[in-house]
Structure 1
């Protein structure tokens, strides 16, 4: 169907189609679009365009019912056309002619004119097939999501590249939405680009509004963008402009003025509408089609909300869901009370929820996501101490989907090692920071590590609260309740941060001011998103301690934390431990290899364990014992895996239930007042989630019962396994589960979306039911009494609604009717009566039934609240299941690994060492699918059996496997300290306290750092923080500078590692002068990756053939065989031969230089004449 035809079809919903036809290219005059629209009570005298637009918008927002507008009546040839019933047809273009950049830039330049299509005619379309409309939307998305994402990403990067460094550093919002606000083009430029097509963004009249133009735009406080306090979240809309708008116009613009950086999904009837700048985004990113008119407008049905919200937030947008929060009947009553004129009557609407990727809650209105990934909303503030030039970081990060909050405050080094580690362990999806209060170094870090992550600068004090303001606002909001004495019932973590000298408990200790300030920013943002109660009332607040902080006594409240091995972001990235934002999607990470977890909580815990391997030998061995015992219990392990596979994400479901439970009647939250049309469907979703939650914990109880059956028969050595499933450790939830499993009919409730509690569950409901039964019995008794009085056995009750329980008496039985019988109606052969006694019983029954409906209306929420009140038990089970799931994942890895598996042995030794025998890389099965992986032995440091240096100086041919071997050793150490089995014949080591890596060559364009600078920065971290118990990987240090400078740097670094730090390290190089220098060093051992060479020694390097053996062999490699790599890379033969000739000359010069140097040293006491003679003799030999 051609777009013009589709527009005509759309307009048919609102009335007769335009009389004039449109060309395939669309109307050339945008004014025709409005003139052709159907009009109500249209006279032959043409009116102004503004008057028509005002009437259209007025009709859309002044519905006498949910989303109702009157069917238009027009006059054609003097005859009025009758009202017509027609569906609103949703149309979509598979491809858009809008440029991605223009789509983004035009968000802030949209018009304010609404159309008659703003309103969905509910009464005219009561029989409309809403599901059919939803199906039409299902077919809207023909454009490749990947292409769209790549375009958006390219625009964002281009915006950054074209901005000055100062602009980027001082930008308060660096998400793509904010970028578009900053750098949009003028209306004239867009008109030149798109011409006069009324369906293009350039033709929208709103582009001409002065208050949206770059040189006039201001925030709500009338501050320009160059003002340091400019608030990009808001927009100044002139009062004169608002005053000229209809009430519906004014309603939309008032919301946009306070949420300028947010896409508004504006509810009108059964549809969510997008207007102006938001409609441009909807058309481009959601493939929605503009509705006919000279302003941007598109929409979709309520049933499609979750899909479209999800798509926008995945692209980095903020989405606000605006709901109607009163019914038309309530609006009429309010209008009468407030004496509103007819044109000022508009249904009240409120923002019920703002969603971003970091604040998604997976509620019944949001799209489900099977992925277990945790996305964190992170706030960061900083304090620089001038005296010591050190910096202190305070951060708070929250996983809103499970209600988990972490606070952390620490001193950090110049490389931000601890902050980088937090970013890797708890990957941010959105970052908040105080505008203008972070140092340029932190802003540079954002560009390095969080380039694609939306970042928002909040106004200090007003939005990014101070620590004292945070406490004051928390106490005022009442999130945590109060004690008997009226004081705030602070969660234990927050209580521990208060100054004990303050009896009132409203002063923060000096060690926690920054993290409390960051927590304040999180609370402010959650409040803006309308989910502050949902997250904070769970009280799941903990302190996170970076692994290298040794003052553990200050962090007694940290869950699941012992002493960990320390790995920074660079190590996690270089060893591909977990998938980071910069990780190549094609790479297999260690997480991918070990992730055989069956629950979402288990997967999240595995990621945490991988980022924080253990260092304490007892804790490591306890995990090993648990894995061994699981592998020995074959039947239990298999049944446990089968059970875990069917368990949903209990942690997220608990958060869902909590959010529903706190929305009690009378709670002042717009969600409680929202009017929905798909209530039955939403109730079914809620109950399905609740039933899945009950069944999930029932499955967990079955695992516990199964363990209890075999526990007495076996002798368990693992205290960890007993802590998870032992009697007294696993919460006693048998009575709780029995209650919720029997309190209502699960199957019937899921099918009908209604909960009818079983007898004894709700005492109030039972009392009302008893009253109803007594009244019905009284009615039956009264019927019997009436039959006796009238001496007619055919008297019966009849009627419905208000006239139910009328006494129907045959005409021949009316002789004995008394005066108290009141005639109500009659039909042939029968007369219907009522009596005062009967009316009294019916009134009492009606009151009881009304009360029952009121009780049942809230019974579902009350059941949810009852379930959540036992939350401590449920969360304990979730944690136990997560640990059990990770342990079974390690056991399954050991079962399925195609290589020899061993349990690492840890020893306490004053001299650290490690010894690997026949080890392979754990990810080799996916890395090298077409060939066998060659196992290798590695010995670092001395033990009782052998004596070797702790540092391995590794050489070998290019592409010979040096980097793979280095990564292999580092990855196996991580696996060993996880407690997992490793692919090796044997592995003995002393624990590693910290792991460092310096691998690869890369620069940092955005931060202006060269390849050498990046290399030396990473090396500096190693030399500053490594200890004798550390392990370091240094790969080809010094490549980014001249040969002499690189050799000198590499030599000095190697010497420092071996002699000063004495840590275990693998140091690879192609500088063969290092081999000669350290060939006799007692702390450095030489090794190389072996290869077989054919035709070596020929003058033609092209004939030389190198076969890589990938085997670590003692001693140095004589050459790097770079010409073989050049040949494999496809360099021209002539180039290779010329390079070989130059290499021969350089080699001779090196040989001469070394010989002369050696001779000078050997003849240091000879005279000059004797030395000259010796040199002449040597040169003649060479």
Structure 2
């Protein structure tokens, strides 16, 4: 098949961009062909047509108008696709033969610059990952919209996954020979696009970005990232900042599961910000402050000195309400400096955005003055280092009109008096148009034709129009006929055409010169990018600090203190998010106390009683303290935690084929293998996903392992009351429980945490609250009474017998083995001990075991009825 020259040109370019949609410019449209067209027509929901590609073949085709391309590109980017923009590089009217075309930019999920595809308060990270021979990994991160670049070394593969997840990377660049198994794992666990690049050399024009970095393990991912940007963006990248080297162990490590369980930046169920810690703490006034807040939440500090500096600033702003409100008002007038600077350097800034930059800079002197008047040491750095960039503000004030158009295509953005030649063109155009108006009045008077008018269109230029009834009034030879209409004639004169030439030439030169002047202004602003970016960093951090102060003031938070003796004491602790969502004053506060003699709290009590809330609020309080915010309590003293691990909630991982229990064990294993003495561990209902015997054995072994081998501060919630005897065996474990009481057969949850162990779990009461049928509830209650009678003696034996499982140096394996060897000590459904009780049949024992395995809270009423019917049917056989 011999394709047309244009299709051959398309195929040659497409061959270089196989993993992207090629937007091929044809006139006023971007066209897509072949498989691109088929796929894009479905994704964009546009018509799929065809075009003659050669002698006998019609090829698939679809297209989008070039002026509306942004909205279509956004759709594809949001779905993780890449787009190569192929433009006509010469005027088709002047081209000899085929119009020259080439790709001028690649748009990918990690390099998008248009606001339509960006979230104002969220960074858009592109990353590059390289593997070293010693098993470590180099990671480079960049947000092209702000120019931020960071690099780090990561010692483990788990650390790579956690860091990519923590930064919510949109696109990852890998070498073509990167380990396929590891790549597959990332595809399964992380939501991002992948790209390939085998270049790891820092491009010459961007060498300044790598200044100060001499480790090859860091240079390689940085070079890979920068090479990719140069190859895809094909334009100035001068706004990229010098790469910052950071250490991941300089921040609290929060693994992927814990980030999800604690709902730090979004909720589990709806995947929305509302209801997360980020939502609670977000009272910022700028978009860049919103991004900085998210970064701080994702990376709490470990340095006590740095934490205290933030807390000092929050305290100062909290104490000065009027000044804080003034600051908030000023910040409210600051636009997104970081991304404005990026767009200036990238070359896609419009006149209105330049004015936004000026209006932002106008706020800086007032912010500096207000901070100076506060005279607070904690805020001195911000006042002293804040550069108002006066030259930039004055440049924009002098050059750009206060209310410019959105685009540069028609001019009208440069102030009169800024450029002499431009003013001359304006005068020529203005005077020419005045001459046209005067000519119209003169012709009306001399011809007596009151309806005569002088008009203009792009095809014929200026013309004199006379309606047909008045044609007889025109003196012979006065005008030259130009166009006939149905009800009028249009004429020209040599004098009118000369004036038209002068006017149009002035207009064309004016628009072209305005565009050139605007470009010069943009370049002068670009030269100050580094100053503007530093100012943006200070403003964004100050915005977060005032947000912390405002939230702390509104909600009655207190400044946390940090213990060097690993003491954890929080008086009247509250869950910050739940308290905010509930009516004021309705949340039940609780004390949390773990001094240097206590590392483990074993929490018992009913479902819905507040165990998980109690555990979560401890973790959230620690995170809030280490990001530099006040905390929800009357008093708070905490250690500085290096890591937080949580296992809260039950969920199957259907994609990877893992059951609830397997997910539970994986998350528990991750905590046990990574936690240190300085970590915080939250484990909720470990062992519930398997049989009672196995569950209790595993739970006890985990508790003993943490106590004997890790000694991390640990909250261990369980329904296995059999484990509460461990308080007598493990010297750093303490029993607590959430209170509940029965009134007229109905359970009342007190949501109060008390010392000691719970007396029962109230599971049937919870099932009743969930709406299960009365007949089922009554039957379950009857069964429970029988089981409790049979198991009473065994429970006593389990907790007091000399050969009961105890903590010893053998740890988890030994404890599990002891349980396996003496299962009768754990039996909740043991054979009757009393001789007068009838012996249960094998079928009855099987039904009871099946009943014990039922997770009522995870079943619908109909499922519960069906299960009950099946068990009843089994008994009747």
Could you state the TM-score of these two structures normalised by the residue count of structure 2?
A: 0.76
| 1:405 corresponding residue in structure 2 | 149
Contact 2:150 2:246 in 1 (8 A): no
Aligned with 1:738 (options 394, 413, 419): 394
**Pair 1:546–1:417, CA change in 2 (3 A):** farther
- Of 518, 521, 524, the residue aligned with 2:221 is 518
Post-superposition offset of 1:582? 8.7
* 1:923 maps to 2:577: yes
* Match among 340, 354, 358 for residue 110 of structure 2: 358
Q: CA deviation at 1:1134?
A: 4.5
- What secondary structure is seen at the aligned counterpart in 1 of 2:293? helix
Aligned to 2:335, the other structure's residue is in SS state coil
Question: Matches of 2:194 and 2:406 in 1, distance apart?
Answer: 41
1:539-592: CA deviations, max 9, x gaps?
A: 4142443432xxxxxxxxxxxxxx433322222111111138997338611001
Find out whether 1:1122 has 2:763 as its counterpart.
yes
Task: Check 1:692–1:930 CA distance in 2 against 1; reply closer, same or farther (3 A cut).
Answer: closer
Distance 1:406 1:1067 in 2: 37
Is the CA contact (8 Å cut-off) linking 1:913 and 1:1064 kept in structure 2? Answer: no
Deviations 1:644-681 (A, max 9, x none): 223221111111110129xxxxxxxxxxxxxxxxxxxx
For residue 323 of structure 1, report the CA deviation from its aligned partner: 1.9
Establish whether residue 449 from structure 1 lines up as the match of residue 189 from structure 2.
yes
**Residue 137 of structure 2 aligns to a residue in which SS?**
strand
- Among 395, 401, 420, which residue is 2:161 paired with? 420
**Pairing partner for 1:1153 from 772, 794, 803:** 794
Which residue of 362, 365, 369 corresponds with 1:705?
369
Quick check: 1:913–1:950 contact (8 Å CA) kept in 2?
Answer: no
Aligned equivalents of 2:752, 2:722: Cα separation in 1? 23
Distance 2:83 2:136 in 1: 34
Q: Paired residue for 2:140, among 374, 396, 400?
A: 396
Structure 2 residue aligned with 1:1098: none
* CA–CA distance in structure 2, aligned partners of residues 402 and 1032 of structure 1: 36
C-alpha distance 619-528 of structure 1, shift in aligned 2 (>3 A): closer
CA distance in 1 between counterparts of 2:757 and 2:515 reads 80
CA 1:771 to 1:634, structure 2 compared with 1: closer, same or farther past 3 Å? closer
- Aligned counterpart for 1:971 among listed residues 608, 615, 620: 620
Aligned equivalent of 2:312, options 596, 603, 625: 625
Q: Give, in whole Å, the separation in 1 of the partners of 2:592 and 2:129.
A: 42
Q: Residues of 2 paired with 1:517 and 1:586: CA distance? A: 35
1:464 and 2:198 equivalent?
Answer: yes
- 1:496 corresponds in structure 2 to 212
Q: Which stretch shows the higher mean deviation, 856-865 or 1152-1161?
A: 1152-1161
Cα drift, residue 687 of structure 1: 1.0
Label 1:520 to 1:1018 Cα distance change in 2 as closer, same or farther (>3 A). same
- Is the alpha carbon distance of 1:525 and 1:490 closer, same or farther for their aligned partners in structure 2, counting shifts above 3 Å? closer
CA distance in 2, matches of 1:1181, 1:264: 84
User: Given the alignment of the two structures, is residue 936 of structure 1 paired with residue 590 of structure 2, yes or no?
Assistant: yes
**Structure-2 residue corresponding to 1:889:** 547
Cα 1:1090–1:495 shift into 2, 3 Å: same
> Alignment partner for residue 302 of structure 1, among 59, 66, 78?
66
Matches within 5 A, 1:942-961: 942=596, 949-961=598-610
In structure 1, runs of 5+ residues without a counterpart are 1-240, 336-344, 386-390, 481-488, 499-508, 549-562, 662-684, 774-825, 834-845, 943-947, 1096-1103, 1164-1177
In the alignment, which of 614, 629, 640 is matched to residue 980 of structure 1?
629
Deviation at 1:849, TM superposition (A): 12
SS of equivalent residue, structure 2 residue 243 = strand
Q: Equivalent of 2:174, from 433, 443, 468?
A: 433
Among 849, 858, 866, which residue is 2:516 paired with?
A: 858
Other-structure match for 2:98: 346
For 2:864, the equivalent position in structure 1 comes to: none
Please tell me whether the aligned partners of residues 588 and 926 of structure 1 are also in contact (alpha carbons under 8 angstroms).
Answer: no
Equivalent position of 1:192 in the other structure: none
Question: For residues 388 and 50 of structure 2, what CA distance do their matches in structure 1 show?
Answer: 62
The residue aligned with 1:197 is none
Encode CA deviations 1:486-537: one digit per residue, 9 max, x unaligned.
xxx533xx23333xxxxxxxxxx4xx33x433334333432442x15443x3
SS for the counterpart of 2:705 is helix
Alpha carbons of structure 1 residues 1119 and 768: separation in structure 2 relative to 1, 3 Å: closer
Residue 1088 of structure 1 aligns to a residue whose secondary structure is strand
Q: Give the Cα–Cα distance (whole angstroms) in 2 for the partners of residues 1083 and 875 of structure 1.
A: 51
Distance 1:1060 1:497 in 2: 39
TM-score after normalising by structure 1: 0.57
In 1, Cα distance between the equivalents of 2:642 and 2:246?
A: 16
1:1110 is the counterpart of 2:731: no
- Give unpaired runs (5+ residues) of structure 2: 52-57, 428-476, 480-492, 495-503, 805-832, 838-877
**Over residues 772-815 of structure 1, what are the superposed CA-to-partner deviations in whole Å (9 max), with x where a residue is unaligned?**
99xxxxxxxxxxxxxxxxxxxxxxxxxxxxxxxxxxxxxxxxxx
Looking at structure 2, the residues matched to 286 and 929 of structure 1 have their Cα atoms a distance apart, in angstroms, of 45
1:606 Cα deviation from its structure 2 partner: 0.5
CA RMSD of aligned residues (A): 3.8
Residue-by-residue CA offset, 1:363-417 (whole Å, 9 max, x unaligned): xxx73746321122222232464xxxxx3112222212222222222211xxx44
Q: Specify whether residues 1150 and 408 from structure 1 end up closer, same or farther in structure 2 by C-alpha distance, changes over 3 A only.
A: same
Task: Pick from 318, 339, 342 the counterpart of residue 652 of structure 1.
Answer: 339
Structure 2 partner of 1:641: 328
1:374 counterpart = 2:126: no
Going from structure 1 to structure 2, the CA distance change for 1:927 and 1:419 (only over 3 Å counts) comes to farther
Distance 1:358 1:941 in 2: 47
**Change over 3 Å in CA distance of 1:590–1:852 after alignment to 2:** closer
Q: What CA deviation, in whole Å up to 9, does each residue of 1:691-723 have, x standing for no partner? A: 111221222333223434x24xxx4241xx111
Aligned match for 2:653, one of 1004, 1009, 1012: 1004
C-alpha separation between the residues in 1 aligned to 2:533 and 2:246?
Answer: 22
C-alpha distance in 2 between matches for 1:772 and 1:914: 73
Match of residue 814 from structure 2: none
Q: 1:544–1:444: structure 2 CA closer, same or farther, 3 Å change rule?
A: farther
Whether the 8 Å contact between 2:358 and 2:392 is mirrored in structure 1 is no
1:1029 Cα shift?
2.7
Listed as ranges, the matches of 1:827-838 within 5 Å are none
Q: CA deviation at 1:1067?
A: 0.7
Seen in structure 2, the aligned counterparts of structure 1 residues 873 and 1093 have a Cα distance that, compared at 3 Å, is same
| Distance (whole Å) between structure 1 residues aligned to residue 293 and residue 119 of structure 2 | 17
CA distance in 2, matches of 1:346, 1:874: 45
Q: 1:250 to 1:1116 in 2, by over 3 A?
A: same
Please say if 1:319 is aligned against 2:83: yes
Find the aligned partners of 2:716 and 2:150 in 1 and give their Cα distance. Answer: 38
Offset at 1:969?
1.0
2:376 and 2:82 map into 1 onto residues whose CA distance is 52
Q: Would you say the 8 A contact 2:387–2:535 is kept in 1? A: yes
- Aligned positions of 1:958-1107 closer than 5 A: 958-1079=607-728, 1081-1094=730-743, 1104-1107=745-748
Q: How far is 1:1109 from its partner?
A: 1.2
Q: CA deviation at 1:954?
A: 0.2
In the alignment, which of 863, 869, 880 is matched to residue 538 of structure 2?
A: 880
Q: Does 1:271 align with 2:29?
A: yes
**C-alpha contact (below 8 Å) 1:894/1:901 kept by paired residues:** yes
1: distance between equivalents of 2:598 and 2:18? Answer: 63
* Structure 1 residues 722 and 445: CA distance shift in structure 2, 3 A: farther
1:892 Cα deviation after fit? 1.8
Corresponding residue for residue 356 of structure 2: 692
Distance 2:339 2:796 in 1: 72
Secondary structure of the residue aligned to 1:437 is coil
Query: How far is the alpha carbon of 1:1158 from its aligned partner?
Result: 7.8
- Aligned equivalents of 1:445, 1:1118: Cα separation in 2: 45
